[in-house]
Amino acid sequence: MSDPYFIAVSAITIASAIIALEFRELIYGAIALAITLLGVAMFFVLLDATFVAMFQITVYVGAVVVLIIFTIMLVRRESWLKLDEGGRRRVMGAVVALAVIGLVGALLAGSSIARWQASEDAPTLMQIGEEMLIYYSPAFIALAFTLAASVIGALVLAKVERGKEREGGGVEAKEDGEESGGRVGGEGGE
Amino acid sequence: MAEILDYTIVSIILLAIGIYGLTVKRNFIRMLFAVEIIINAANLNLVAFSRLMPVPNSTGQTFALFSIAIAAAEVAVGLALIIVAYRIYRNIDIKGLKRLSG
């Protein structure tokens, strides 16, 4: 626990993780989540895993958080700010979290990894590349198909089927109709 | 250089925060945040063990790369589910999401 960089980065990461879950405004929570993910990337840099750190920043902060922020902007409503979890639920959640920390922490402190001597040299980028593209190349190809399938699945899920929505959705379709009717009426009045 | 125990402790704390979020929060997007935090705790463990074992092993970093890519796919599907749920219910309180059949 002597490394000041480690202590600073862990403080930033844990604090912003708590803020991401507890801040009332959802969009600031998303930004705090981005800071958490950057903190994890800093840990990767401290662990001499610069390629994984770069990948983390590109994929998480560059793509995932931006996607989440856009979704929040699409679906956000004021009533969520008043969504109350209830004190009892919150206390039970905190108890479960502290129990996890206590039990697994005690298990780890008693295990032999506390006495491990870390090696001096880090795995090199060449080793990672060889392993990923030669030994794990079937997994790599399967991962490519998984990504393609998930993107296609997300597009199919989010696709708007105009006709079906008007037939099926009772209340929503009516609301939509009223909204668009009101808009048209307002424009006509002007 | 921090020891491996320090990294595992930070990872456990992140995991506990994620479990707290999953059990307490009722907002769909907040639960997605909690899942992201748990996945990052797991990745941190993988990379820490890859670097700080007595014999360094690059498999941990390779698995972390795979894990990050899978997590990105999971987020895409999760956000599409949020959009569908919002379109059907005009709400993302998970108490109201009894069915997603449309």
**What is the average per-residue pLDDT within A41-67?**
92
DSSP 8-state secondary structure symbol assigned to residue B92 = -
In this predicted complex, what is the ipTM? 0.90
Q: Which of A4-13, A69-78, A125-134, A155-164 has the highest mean pLDDT?
A: A4-13
pLDDT surpasses 50 at A39:
yes
Whether B42 contacts B10, CB under 8 Å: no
What tens digit of pLDDT does each residue of B2-20 get?
A: 788 889 999 999 999 999 9
**What is the average per-residue pLDDT within A13-38?**
92
**What is the average per-residue pLDDT within B52-61?**
85
Report the share of chain A in percent with pLDDT over 70. 80
Q: What is the pLDDT of residue B25?
A: 85
Q: Which range among A38-47, B16-25, B89-98 shows the weakest confidence by mean pLDDT?
A: B89-98
> Has residue A8 been placed in a domain?
yes
What tens digit of pLDDT does each residue of A95-135 get?
A: 999 999 999 989 988 888 877 877 778 888 888 888 888 99
Expressed as residue numbers, the domain containing A29 is 1-76
**A89 lies in the same domain as A46:** no
**What is the average per-residue pLDDT within A169-180?**
43
**A71 lies in the same domain as A87:** no
Q: What is the pLDDT of residue A112?
A: 83
**What is the average per-residue pLDDT within A49-56?**
92
**A89 lies in the same domain as A71:** no
Interface of B with A in 63-92 (CB under 8 A): 64-66, 68-77, 79-84, 86-88, 90-92
Q: What is the pLDDT of residue B57?
A: 84
Given A21, A52, A76, the domain boundary residue is: A76
pLDDT surpasses 60 at B58:
yes
Report the share of chain B in percent with pLDDT over 70. 89
pLDDT surpasses 70 at A88:
yes
Chain A positions touching B42 (Cβ under 8 A) are none
Q: What is the pLDDT of residue B39?
A: 95
**A57 lies in the same domain as A101:** no
Q: What is the pLDDT of residue B86?
A: 82
Whether B62 contacts B47, CB under 8 Å: no
**A8 lies in the same domain as A59:** yes
Closest chain A C-alpha to B93 CA, distance in angstroms: 8
Q: What is the pLDDT of residue B55?
A: 82
> Has residue A62 been placed in a domain?
yes
Q: Choosing among A1, A22, A40, which should be mutated to test the B contact, i.e. which has the most B CBs within 10 A?
A: A40
From 3.40.50.620, 1.10.760.10, 3.40.50.2020, 1.10.287.3510, which CATH number describes the B4-89 domain? 1.10.287.3510
**A24 lies in the same domain as A87:** no
pLDDT surpasses 70 at B75:
yes
Nearest CB among A51, A74, A119 relative to B53 is that of: A119
Whether B36 contacts A35, CB under 8 Å: no
Q: What is the 3-state secondary structure (H, E, C) of A124-186?
A: CHHHHHHHHHHHCHHHHHHHHHHHHHHHHHHHHHHCCCHHHHHHHCCHHHHHHHHHHHHHHHH
Looking at residue A57, which CATH number applies to its domain?
1.20.120.1200
**A54 lies in the same domain as A100:** no
Nearest CB among B19, B51, B71 relative to A97 is that of: B19
* Integer Rg of chain B from CA: 17
> Has residue A158 been placed in a domain?
no
Given A51, A76, A101, the domain boundary residue is: A76
A71 burial via Cβ count (<10 Å: 0-12, 13-18, 19+): buried
**What is the average per-residue pLDDT within A165-176?**
46
What tens digit of pLDDT does each residue of A127-164 get?
A: 888 888 899 999 999 999 999 999 899 888 878 776 65
Structural domains counted in chain A: 2
Q: What is the pLDDT of residue B21?
A: 92
Does A21 contact B30 at a Cβ distance shorter than 8 Å?
yes
Residue of B nearest to A19 (CA): B17
Nearest CB among B9, B56, B69 relative to A123 is that of: B56
Residue B1: pLDDT band by 50, 70, 90 thresholds?
A: low
Chain B positions touching A49 (Cβ under 8 A) are 47, 50-51, 61, 64
Does A52 contact B55 at a Cβ distance shorter than 8 Å?
no
Whether B102 contacts A92, CB under 8 Å: no
Q: What is the pLDDT of residue A86?
A: 74
Chain B positions touching A97 (Cβ under 8 A) are 16-17, 19-20
Chain A positions touching B21 (Cβ under 8 A) are 21, 93
